[in-house]
Amino acid sequence: MLAAKIAGLKTNDTGSPIINSKFDYEAYNSAKLKIQNNPKKINYRKEYCYSQTGSNSYGFSSPRTACAAFSFATALSIKYNKKITPKDVLTSTNGLMIEDTTNSDVWEWNWKDGKSTKTAYRIKASKGSETFSGIDAQLYLGNPVLIHTEGYSVNGYSSEHWATIIGKENGKYQIIDPWDGTKRNLDQMEIYKNNGSVLDYVILTNEY
């Protein structure tokens, strides 16, 4: 939808652009390239980068299996520039998030910010480049994004992992890996680099 807005196009009920001419098509593609190539710089503090293998378990009985919660806390801390810990978004001691289904492709993650409740949106990955177009739109808006991947460990075991995307450098997505709280390329994340794929991603606002 963001590309359609930039191109000045109307959208249908599913959010797809209504293209009536070659000019509309060119304007839409130009907007997509603008979004893809112009991510905003996302500043963050090291203290916002939570580690599953650090000395603080943040109330989790098994923090090494709680990558979703640790990534979520990192993304929220960066987005709102304040310390929001994995314990603050804790929904169960095993690190699972409580979800409300909006439709078959979107789930809501509700979390408490003081006395108010805010909502993030978990979106099922699409085929082709659509998923990364959605991620690019958030980076263009200056928002970190959670990404949920599946692949194989270095020992060859099938596994899943979450991380927080914070930008792009030289065309490579930059993440904070919750395993150790460090920054690296998405392609360097163990689970993703070993025949990995994207299952879904989470945006922190309904702006897209």
Q: In Å, how far from its chain's centre is CA 22?
A: 33
**Beta carbons of 75 and 109 less than 8 angstroms apart:** no
Say what percent of the chain tops pLDDT 70: 93
Average pLDDT for 43-62: 92
Task: Please work out, in degrees rounded to the nearest 5, the angle formed at the alpha carbon of residue 199 by the alpha carbons of 195 and 205.
Answer: 135
- For 45-203, CATH number? 3.90.70
Cα–Cα–Cα angle for 76, 80, 85, nearest 5°?
A: 45
Q: Where are the domains of the chain?
A: 1-38, 45-203
- pLDDT category of residue 107 using cuts at 50, 70 and 90: confident
Q: Indicate if the pLDDT at residue 59 is higher than 90.
A: no
Closest C-alpha to 144, from 172, 166, 169? 166
From 128, 149, 146, 148, select the one nearest 32 (Cα to Cα). 128
Amino acid at 16: S
Phi, psi of 121, rounded to the nearest 5 degrees: -130, 120
What is the pTM for the complete model shown?
A: 0.89
Q: Tell me which of 90-94, 104-108, 154-158, 163-167 is least confident.
A: 90-94
What's the pLDDT tens digit per position in 148-182? 999 998 888 899 999 999 999 999 999 999 999 99
Which residues are paired to 146 by β-bridges? Answer: 164, 202
Are 119 and 110 in contact by the 8 Å Cβ rule? The answer is yes
pLDDT higher than threshold 90 for residue 102: no
